[in-house]
Structure 1
Amino acid sequence: MVNYMLKITADLENLTNLQPQNGCDDPDFSYFFKLRCGRCGEVTQKETCLTLGESLPIPNSKGTTHLVQKCKFCERDGTVTMIPGQGRPLTQEDSESGKYAPLMLFDCRGYEPVEYSFLGLWKAESLEGTLFENIDLSGGEIADYDEKGECPVMISNLRATFDVTK
């Protein structure tokens, strides 16, 4: 068993608290990423989608998980289980210092997560307190204007990493 923490960062201009629309532990938010087989090293061609709200039984076990998948090349089974309660929003301070914010923890058995995709809806707030919701980051960046704060807001240079944690 290896745990991988998905961490994100971005350049935030006049924004803070970037996170999934209903928070990091939203049961309906979908996490999209590719997987690398722990046996043969093959990377999946398409992104795998996981949500906290959907779980299934682990074969030959009493437990549940969020993904059971067989490698198309070596046919090894693997599972990925999401562990909520570890994530937090990306703040302006994180962005300015180049730090990554933890988003979600994954318990991976037989697979390693790689190449996270920023799909789904996100939210952030301006430094003046204006809430920006339903942000689509699939294009890699967004630009808008904060009427209340009378300043431009922007999210760009999105990056994600999966760090091994204990």
Structure 2
Amino acid sequence: MVLYLLTFTAELENLTNLQPRGGCDDPNFTYCFKLKCENCGEVSQKETYVTMSETVPIPNSRGTANLVQKCKLCGREGTIQMVPKHGEPLTLERSQKEEFAKLMVFDCRGFEPIEFSFGDGWVVESTSGTKFNADLSGDDFAEYDEKGECPVGISNVQAKFKVAKKQERYGKTTYI
């Protein structure tokens, strides 16, 4: 078992709190990425889609996972289980400091997630409080905030997976 932390950042213009539409733990938000087999190193040609609300039984086990899939090259089976309650919105302050915000933790067995793809289903609010639904499929977003009387935008979206370390502090579990 390896835990992977998905982090993301973007350049935010007059915007803050970029996150999936239902929050960072939205059970219906679709995570889209490619997988690399830990056995043979094969990278999936197509992107894999994972949501928290979908679970499937793990073969020859009593447990479930959000994804069970076989490698097309070597046939080895792998699983991915999402670990909620560790995500946070990307704020304007973090964006200006070029810091990454935590989005989701994935417990992976047999696969390594790579190349996260941004898509539709994001929400962000302007510095004046107006909420916008954002489709980041094209890697950017631009609108005009009538209330704040200013342009708003998202550009240079980036995401990365890194091996996460579990940290217990003051009775709370976090991943770094």
Identity %: 61
State yes or no: 1:31 paired with 2:31: yes
Partner of 1:164: 163
Q: Is the 8 A contact 1:29 1:52 kept in 2?
A: yes
Across the aligned residues of Structure 1 and Structure 2, the Cα RMSD in angstroms comes to 0.7
Aligned pairs, how many?
A: 165
State yes or no: 1:138 paired with 2:137: yes
The TM-score, its normalising length taken from structure 2, stands at 0.92
- In structure 1, list runs of 5 or more residues that go unmatched: none
Deviation at 1:68, TM superposition (A): 0.6
Deviation at 1:79, TM superposition (A): 0.4
Deviation at 1:163, TM superposition (A): 1.2
Measure, in 2, the Cα distance between the counterparts of 1:117 and 1:152: 25
Deviation at 1:120, TM superposition (A): 2.6
The TM-score, its normalising length taken from structure 1, stands at 0.97
- SS where residue 10 of structure 1 aligns? strand
Deviation at 1:24, TM superposition (A): 1.1
1:42-53 aligned at under 5 Å gives the runs 42-53=42-53
- SS where residue 93 of structure 1 aligns? helix
State yes or no: 1:63 paired with 2:59: no
Q: Is the 8 A contact 1:29 1:120 kept in 2?
A: no
Q: Which runs of 4+ in 1 moved over 6 A?
A: none
- SS where residue 94 of structure 2 aligns? helix
Measure, in 2, the Cα distance between the counterparts of 1:149 and 1:18: 18
State yes or no: 1:148 paired with 2:147: yes
